[in-house]
Amino acid sequence: MRKEKLLENIRIYSHSKALFGAMFLIFVVGVFMYVILGSNMFLVSVDGNDRAIITVRRDMQGVIDICGVELAEDDVVEFTEPTDVAGTLTVRRAFYVSVTADNFTETISVIDGTVRDALETCEIVLGEFDEVTPSRDTLLAGNMNIKVTRVTYETREVEESIPYSTKEYYSIEYLKKTRTVTRPGEKGVRTTTYRDKYVDGERVESTVVSVKTTKKPVDELVAVGTSTQQLLSKHRQLAQLQAGEKTPPTEYQKVMVMQGTAYTYSSIEKYNVTALGMPVREGAVAVDPKVIPYGTILYVESVDGRFNYGYCIAEDTGGGIKGNRIDLFYESNTTVGRFGRRDVRVYIIG
């Protein structure tokens, strides 16, 4: 019994020794292949996984096959053969981004880069004000949608009419209760300059740059008649006399020497209308109607010869104009002051 167990242990030991020898042989062969036969080490990077392999293959396709890498059409493989150091195999996976501009979408395959690079690949030229989403320096990512919005600015001018106003004035040259257009109105022109913003060809915003009146409107003038038929005839006669030489008349009814004063416009509007309801003006004088009736045509000059008022018509009166007095209207307040109070010679023409 003891002898049989001893023989069994000897057989096990012999078997273990043979197995160890085989493994050692394989190890020696591997080292021999690596050292003597030229096996190669590669650092492989695929899909974010890094590893090292040893192979007798030195070509790129062989290493790819050994690693079991499946390549898509646009994937990029970067490969370096081993020299004194390990070789490398890096697979950069392609992905797709879409670029939309000018109503057209193009899908391109890329492996890296920025939005700016994608635009260059699609040969898209950006204008000064164009907008890009995402921004041009954004790193590309799978299934990214890049949108180019075309933005332009244009300047335009728009002409608009400016309505004219109608101004009425009282006139002794027309009969009472009549309204006569003495000057037609003309519309003005206003030019407005706009800066328009266009987004993809559509105007979305307008900003006013300037507004200029290129033609001023001309007011329409309407004469409101204030004369009776008799007074209208007097005014026409006076106009003819005033158009001639400013010299004393040769034909008149009589001459009176009166005390003369002068006045001008009042700050109170109602006092700027004569007793006959007409606007005060040079050529219309104030008298005492009991001495000189309204509507009488006169010629007035100062006795001292310093003032020659000329032809005028009696249309107004005043609280202090009584008896042998006459008040002459002047446009200029300075002239009124210079005239003061002095004797005047009044020719009664009729």
Structure tokens at 334: 């300075």
| pLDDT of 6 over the 80 cut | no
Q: What letter does residue 272 receive in the DSSP assignment?
A: G
Residue with tokens 């001639």: 244
Model pLDDT, residue 106: 97
CA distances from 246 to 256, 283, 296, 310 (A): 19, 12, 18, 6
Among the ranges given (31-45, 56-70, 91-105, 300-314), the one the predictor scored with the smallest mean pLDDT: 31-45
Please tell me whether residue 294 adopts helix, strand or coil conformation. Answer: coil
Model pLDDT, residue 38: 64
Model pLDDT, residue 25: 45
| pLDDT of 7 over the 50 cut | no
Helix (H) or strand (E) holding 184: none
Cα–Cα distance, 270 to 290 (Å, whole number): 23
Mean pLDDT over residues 111-138, rounded?
96
Residue with tokens 């009176």: 256
Categorize the per-residue pLDDT at 241 as very low, low, confident or very high, splitting at 50, 70 and 90: confident
Domain 154-222 classification at class level: mainly beta
More confident residue, 306 or 235: 306
Mean pLDDT over residues 68-81, rounded?
92
Domain 244-348 has CATH 2.40.40.10: yes
Mean pLDDT over residues 95-108, rounded?
96
pLDDT digits (tens, 9 = 90+) for 182-236: 999 999 999 999 999 999 999 999 999 999 999 999 999 999 887 788 888 888 8
| pLDDT of 37 over the 70 cut | no
| pLDDT of 33 over the 50 cut | no
